[in-house]
């Protein structure tokens, strides 16, 4: 038993050593991150990842918006389509695009489109605002809602 354990350890060390000389050291990096002495490194990596995630989120949101762009424009001066222009919608009052024929229900909702309200409306438009004329475009997936809201927040003329 002892001998075979020893042989395995040597085998592992050898595998690590040969990985170390490999020009693609991916697996070795993962092992290094788990060592107690490297505690600072994962924290730094997490910060980088978060920054990357925020950028990815906006990029993903732009892709998700393809499910909305049949009914909504986002360029600030673009005309309304079946739905109102959504430029700068995050933080705006519901039903505020002048000239758009909103439903009575949306006008009466007196909502302000905070991220939370948008999230609820996009999850289930007719559930959140019974009588809304937005009868398609719901996003059941919370990650897709989060992404499209992050992207919408980058639109508008501020
Ligand atoms: C089938 C067309 C259609 C699709 C697809 C659609 N919408 Fe809508 N949307 C509408 C209509 C119509 C309204 C106006 C609703 C009302 O007046 O009750 C609206 C209203 C809205 C509002 C409120 C706007 C305001 O000025 O208060 C938001 C926000 C919104 N949509 C976001 C989205 C997002 C994000 C998507 C994609 C995930 C999407 N919509 C997909 C038709 C659509």
Number of domains observed in the structure of the chain: 2
As a whole number, the mean pLDDT across the chain is: 79
Query: Do the domain assignments include residue 10?
Result: yes
Q: pTM value?
A: 0.74
For residues 108 and 140, membership in a common domain is answered with yes
pLDDT digits (tens, 9 = 90+) for 38-60: 444 444 444 445 556 788 999 99
Query: Domain containing 146: what range?
Result: 64-152
Does the residue 128 lie in any domain?
yes
Cβ(148)–Cβ(59) below 8 Å: no
Which residue has its alpha carbon closest to ligand 1 atom 17?
A: 102
Residues near ligand 1 (Cβ within 6 A): 67-68, 70-72, 82-84, 86, 89, 94-97, 102-103, 105-106, 113, 118, 122, 132-134, 136-137, 139, 148
| pLDDT greater at residue 26 or residue 92 | 92
Tell whether 71 and 146 lie within a shared domain. yes
Geometric angle at alpha carbon 104, from 100 and 107, rounded to 5°: 70
Task: Let me know whether 122 and 71 are in one domain.
Answer: yes
Note whether residue 42 is domain-resident.
Answer: yes
User: Can you give the CATH number for the domain in which 113 is found?
Assistant: 1.10.760.10
HSE, CB side, 13 Å, CA atoms: give it for residue 90: 17
Least confident of 28-42, 71-85, 142-156: 28-42
Cα–Cα nearest to 118, from 137, 91, 95? 91
């Amino acid at each position: 038993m002892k001998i075979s354990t020893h042989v395995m350890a040597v085998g592992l060390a050898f595998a690590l050593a040969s990985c170390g000389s490999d020009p693609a050291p991916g697996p070795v990096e993962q092992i290094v991150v788990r060592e107690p002495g490297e505690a600072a490194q994962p924290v730094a990596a997490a910060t980088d990842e978060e920054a990357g995630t925020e950028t990815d989120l906006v990029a993903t949101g732009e892709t998700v918006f393809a499910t909305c762009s049949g009914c909504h424009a986002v360029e600030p001066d673009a005309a309304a389509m079946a739905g109102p222009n959504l430029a700068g919608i995050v933080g705006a009052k519901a039903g505020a695009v002048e000239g758009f024929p909103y439903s009575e229900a949306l006008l009466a909702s007196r909502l302000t489109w905070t991220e939370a309200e948008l999230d609820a409306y996009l999850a289930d438009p007719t559930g959140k605002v019974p009588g809304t004329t937005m009868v398609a475009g719901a996003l059941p997936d919370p990650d897709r809602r989060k992404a499209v809201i992050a992207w919408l927040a980058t639109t508008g003329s501020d």
